[in-house]
Every structure is written in structure tokens, then in C-alpha cells.
Amino acid sequence: MRFWLYILFLGVTLVGYAKQDQEGTLPDAGEEPVEGLDSMYYLNDVVVTGTRTPKLLKDAPIQTRLITSADIEKVDATNAEDLLQQEMPGVEFSYAMNQLKHMNLCGFGGQGILFLVDGERLAGETMDDVDFTRLNMANVERIEIVKGAASALYGSNAGGGVINIITKEGTEPWTLNLNGRLARHNERRFGGSYGVNGTQLKNMLNVNHTSIDNYNVHNAPNPATQVVATVYGDRTWNIKDRLSYTLNDHLKLIGRLGYFYREQTRTADAPERFRDFSAGLRGLWDITQKDNLELSYSFDQYDKSDYHKITHMDVRDYRNVQNIFKGLYNHYWQTGNILTLGADFMHDYLMNKNLGSRTESQNTFDAFAQYDWLINTQWEVVGAVRYDYFSDSKDSQFTPKLSARYQPISNLNLRFGYGMGFRAPALKEKYYNFDAAGIWIIRGNPDLKSELSHNFNASADYTTGHYNFTLSAYYNDVQNKLATGVPHYLPGDDKQLYLDYTNLAGYSVYGGDATVQARWDNGLSVRFSYAYTNERLPKDKEGNTINNQYIPARKHSLTARIDWDKQFSSNYGLRLSLNGRYLSDVKNVEFIDYYDISKGTSTIHYPAYTYWKFSAVQRIGKAFKVTTALDNLLNYKPKYHYFNSPLTDGINLMVGLSVDIDKLF
């Protein structure tokens, strides 16, 4: 409580200080030029994810949350998990057995949120989620987040939204940055990037390495459910190169190569290894001033293996390979209307030692069309339809989407829409056969149907003076949710339990969020975001309570950031940032006895928590940045490290240095 009073006091003090300052230096808020406000909140930044066409953030017909490279730097985030849980309320990362990470975004899990890097899907999953450590933040230009069903543009897995990570392209003739960060538990983060930027040729090479040791955390006696006692660290390498070549004013080619490696030691003699190999080629052709065409090929292979130290053998037990061909055509009318046509083909290959036949594959094909109708200066309507075909089940899916933007005054946007989302059953969900340590056998189900969702959303954003306000609300109705069902015995066998993938009965989630942010000329900026999420937990089609695979979303969550930035002289600048989040408690219905479900269920209570980070970045000259941060500022130590608790053993001092070598000359 004292902490919240302190935060409140700090906020009021800082706002008061900001007001004092602006009274002397700034014109009245009402006279603030709209252009100035736009640049304050990145409203003139271009986003592409909502419509697959470039749009100014302020004009995007689909509400898009933009996280810029400056935001990433303020959070000092290493990967997507660090960033998203701090920047977005309603996002929570929890853990499954083996500490496999699971993300929940407004009630949708990893398979319901589509992660893209530069518009491309990622291969590989563990417990339904992509490998978040692959999503290194070192070379990220911006992240665009579109909540709500986006399957009409992106197909399967976009029922809950899309998170598109867009990487940097050099702008200076050459750049060379080297950086490092040290923290507790022998945590190390080293990175380097080298960019060259010619008239026709641009190249950006990024190399990043992270490592952290395993460490133990303490739990009080008698936990209500499973807890984590040892936090597994890991070692990662992430190498990416992006080369673009502009042939002429009309034609540009972009090539990329990537390699990712992660090693985690749960068993000393057999560390687990995760590798990813990616490559892609994209051609952008401006056919005329009003027509452009984009063709691309993408390759992504994600492998898992165990390294047997005793025999020095690296044995692969999982491989997912995606080969994707894409075409996208846009036609622009002078009135501002845009027609978008696209088609994709993907060959999806899966090798998993726990598949019945060890390997499975399927082809998917889709085609989609979108019309963006700028009716007048106030109204814009976007409609899209898409058809997807899956060869394995010979199943197809049709998904529509309709969105509208209304701008009654210049700095107020109202958006609302409907979209259908779907998730086709993954090959694993259809063909899995995994003996889960003798507890039960998890079985795939070839007869699974696609999960369907209907998403309704509305939002408003308003900018005035130094303030920007955003409000949004959504309702998702999910049918045939894909999950594991009720554990059961086969007839005549009361010894072996089975847990089958199935389509659950109706499920819904609704909620909303509110954000207020303010920036002043004295270098102070604040942002407070609140999200409300209400999941109506699914049951099976017979009405039985199922054992939820994952802990549901917390109803209330809040993120806050207060920054103060001042350049004292040409050689010294300082930025202080305080970032925090609060997540309310949550209850989950879990079986009392997994082996005798007639005993019913009990409700497990997972406590609320708050987590804060303070950082100071000193800019010395043009080339040096020294970062000192206190992570877990309040020294929060969970009584029980449940699967949705932050895995921390207390406050953590982090010290980092970044040098822009090119700026030394």
C-alpha cells in the first residue's frame, strides 16, 4: 500500500512539475499543432499489419498498438517476453511443465496469436507456443500488435490477433554497434550489429548472445499446486543478416538469412538444444504508381535435439520445416481506395518422435481479397475475405472481416469491426502419441475440426495537448476450441489414462483496455495502461469441466512507465525510467485427482503481484551509453513460484554498455 502511495505521489509530483514547466514554455494545449502531437505519439509512423498495406498509425482503419525501438530501449528488453509483458497489459507469460513458456494475450494462447517476423510465420512450437527466445529485440525497428481476429488476412492461428516484429534497415552510410549487459546468476547479454547503406545495396548483420545459469528459488511449505524450484537458464546465439538491393526505382529485392541456437540444461548429461535456420527472398515491384506486387519465398526450420554428453551424440527428436511462397498485389485509386489481392502456399513438414508415424506433412493454400474504401475524410471501411485449404484433412475455411474507422474531428478516431478467426488443427494435435511420464497418454485426434472465433471490437483514440487516450473493447466467441479434453480410460482398461485432443464446446472471452499517455517538453513522459479480461472457461461438449491446459488470464492488469530524459550538454544526457506492472489474482479450476475425476475439481488461487524496474541510461558523447538498472525493484519474492509467478529470487542489478563505433569518427 505504501508503495502505491509512493507511486501516486511520484506521478502527481512529476505531472505537477511538468505542468509548471509547460506553463512557461508551451502554447495552450488547444493551440498545439496537430503535426506536433502526431509525432509525439508516433501517429505519423507507418504501420502495415492491420491491412497489409502501409498506413499512418493515425489513419490505420484497424487499431494497431505500436511499440517502437525507443520503447524497447527504455524497457531494456532482451526478447519478446521481456518487452510484451512490460509494455502491454493483458499479456502474461506463464509456464508449463519443464518451464516451457506459454503466452496469454487477452484470453488467447500461443496458437491463437500469430507471431510474424517481417511478415513471415515462425516454424516450431513447444506446448503450442513459438520459441520466444528466438524473438530477440536487438535489431527490432518496431512491433505492431493487432488484437482481434485477423484470419481474413493471415489465415490460421490469427484468431486472437497478430504480433508483427519488423526488423531494422540501416539509414546511415555505415553503422557498427557493440553492446553488453551483465546481471545476477551470471546473466550475460552481448550483441553487435554492422550495417552498410549504399545507394543500391544495404546490409544489416546482427549477432547476439545471451546466457544465464540455472538457479534455485525458495518456496514455502505446502503449495496448493505445482511450483518451480529450479529456474532453468540457457545459452542462446542469434545471428541474422538482411540484404536489400534496389535495382531501380521500381524493383527491390530483400534477402535474409538467420541462425538461432539455444541450449538449456535440465539434465546435466543431456542438455536440450534448439536450432532454427531461416532464409527468405522478397521482391517488391512497383509496376506503376498505382500498382505494386510483392512476391516472396520463406524457409524456416526449427529443430530440437538432446546432446548426450557421455556419448557425444547430438540426437534430433523434432523438426518442423515450413516452405512458404507468397504473392501480394495492391492497386491504389486516386481517391485513396486500395484493392489488395493475395495468395500463399505453404508446405508444412513435421518430424516428432512422439508422432504415431514419426513424420507428417501437409500443404496449405489460400487466397484472399481486401478492399479499403475511403468513403470521405471521415469514414473508411475495409472488407476482406479469405479462403484456406488444408491438404491433410482436405478441409477448407472461409473467413470474412469488416472494419470501419470514423473520424468526427481531426484528433479523434473511432474504430469498430467484426472478424472471423480460425485455427486449423496442427499436425501434432492430429497425430500425437505421447506417454506423459506414465501419467497419461496424450493422443492426437485426426477428426479434429478447425477452431472458429467471432470477434467484435470497438475502440477510440483521442489526442489533445500533451495527452493521448485510447479505449478499446472486444468480445470473442470461440467455437470448437482445440485443446485436450477430459482424461479417460478405454473400455476394459482401468489402468491407463488417455488425454485426447478434442474440440471443446463454446467458449468466450471479453474485455477491454484503456491507455493514457502524456509527454512534455521538459523530457517527462508517462504512460498508464489497464486491461480487463474475462474468460468464460471452456467445457467439453458433454458439459464436463475440463482440466484447463493453461492458467487463465488475470482479470485486471496494469502497466505503467514514467520516463524523464534530459540532455545536459552536448556530451552528456540522462534518461531515468520506471517501468512496472500489476497483475490481479486469478483462480483456476483443476482436478483434485487426475486419476479419479469423479472426485471433482478444486479452485486454485494464484495471487496478485506487482513487478517494477528502474533504469538509468547515461549518454556520454555521441557513442557511449551506460545503462544501470534495478530489475525487480521492490525485491518481490513469490511465496510460491507457481507456473504464472515471475521466476525471480529478488532484486537484480543490471549493468550495460553500448558503443556506436561509427560515431567515434
Partner 1 sequence: MFDDIYDEPQEQVDIKEGQLYIDASSWTDWHYINLTATENKVVKMSIPTEALPSPNGEGAEGLYTYWYDVFGEGLSKHEFRGFTPTISQPEPDEWHIAVHRNNVRTNGGAAYETPYTSMNDLPESSEAFANATFTEDVWNELDVWTIQAQMLQGLIGNQGIKVNPVLSLWLTVSLPPVPPVFTLNNHVFIIKFNDGTYGAIQLENYQSPTGVKCCLTINYKYPY
363 binds partner 1 (CB under 8 A): no
If the CB atoms of residues 447 and 593 are measured against partner 1, the closer one turns out to be: 593
If the CB atoms of residues 8 and 439 are measured against partner 1, the closer one turns out to be: 439
Cα dihedral value 436, 644, 91, 137, nearest 10: -80
Here's the x/- map for partner 1, 180-219, by CB under 8 A: it reads as ---------------------------------------x
- The 10 Å Cβ neighbour count of residue 279 is 15
If the CB atoms of residues 12 and 224 are measured against partner 1, the closer one turns out to be: 224
CB neighbours of 61 closer than 8 A, spacing ≥ 6? 50, 51, 55, 372, 380, 381, 382, 403, 404, 405, 415
Q: Quick one: which of 315, 616, 655, 664 contacts partner 1 (CB under 8 A)?
A: 315
What are the residues facing 458 on neighbouring strands? 416, 473
Query: Rounded to 5, what percent of the chain is helix, strand, coil?
Result: 10, 55, 30
If the CB atoms of residues 228 and 629 are measured against partner 1, the closer one turns out to be: 228
| CA nearest neighbour of 463 among 381, 531, 519 | 519
Q: Quick one: which of 81, 306, 540, 662 contacts partner 1 (CB under 8 A)?
A: 306
227 binds partner 1 (CB under 8 A): yes
For residues 497 and 489, is the Cβ–Cβ distance under 8 A? yes
228 binds partner 1 (CB under 8 A): yes
316 binds partner 1 (CB under 8 A): yes
For residues 82 and 154, is the Cβ–Cβ distance under 8 A? no
Residue type at 241 in one-letter notation: D
Here's the x/- map for partner 1, 71-110, by CB under 8 A: it reads as --------------------------xx------------
Which part of the chain contacts partner 1 (CB under 8 A), choosing from 28-36, 302-310, 391-399, 446-454? 302-310
| Footprint on residues 114-153 left by partner 1 (CB under 8 A) | none
CB neighbours of 124 closer than 8 A, spacing ≥ 6? 130, 131, 274, 276, 300, 302, 303, 304, 318, 320
301 binds partner 1 (CB under 8 A): yes
Look at residue 398 and give its three-state secondary structure. strand
| Footprint on residues 475-504 left by partner 1 (CB under 8 A) | 495, 497
Cα–chain center distance at 519: 26
CB neighbours of 559 closer than 8 A, spacing ≥ 6? 86, 87, 88, 89, 527, 528, 529, 579, 580, 581, 582
| Footprint on residues 232-291 left by partner 1 (CB under 8 A) | 232, 266-270, 275, 277
What does the block give as the cell for 617? 541510461
433 binds partner 1 (CB under 8 A): no
What are the residues facing 619 on neighbouring strands? 573, 625
CA distance 45 to 494: 61
Q: What is the DSSP string of 139-152?
A: TEEEEEEEES--HH
Q: Quick one: which of 594, 614, 624, 636 contacts partner 1 (CB under 8 A)?
A: 594
What does the block give as the cell for 196? 552498410
If the CB atoms of residues 297 and 594 are measured against partner 1, the closer one turns out to be: 594
If the CB atoms of residues 44 and 301 are measured against partner 1, the closer one turns out to be: 301
Minimal distance, residue 236 CB to partner 1, in Å = 17
What does the block give as the cell for 277? 535456420
For residues 382 and 403, is the Cβ–Cβ distance under 8 A? yes
Which part of the chain contacts partner 1 (CB under 8 A), choosing from 169-177, 421-429, 433-441, 531-539? 433-441
Q: Quick one: which of 192, 223, 400, 465 contacts partner 1 (CB under 8 A)?
A: 223
Using left for φ > 0, alpha for ψ between -120 and 50, and beta otherwise, residue 154 falls in alpha
308 binds partner 1 (CB under 8 A): yes
348 binds partner 1 (CB under 8 A): no
If the CB atoms of residues 19 and 316 are measured against partner 1, the closer one turns out to be: 316
- The 10 Å Cβ neighbour count of residue 508 is 17
Query: 396 burial class (0-12, 13-18, 19+ CB within 10 angstroms)?
Result: middle
If the CB atoms of residues 229 and 251 are measured against partner 1, the closer one turns out to be: 229
If the CB atoms of residues 172 and 269 are measured against partner 1, the closer one turns out to be: 269
Here's the x/- map for partner 1, 520-549, by CB under 8 A: it reads as ------------------------------
For residues 62 and 404, is the Cβ–Cβ distance under 8 A? no
Q: Quick one: which of 197, 211, 225, 610 contacts partner 1 (CB under 8 A)?
A: 225
383 binds partner 1 (CB under 8 A): no
What does the block give as the cell for 567? 540532455
Footprint of partner 1 on this chain (CB under 8 A)? 97-98, 219, 221-223, 225-230, 232, 266-270, 275, 277, 301, 303, 305-306, 308, 310-311, 313-317, 321, 353, 437-439, 495, 497, 593-595
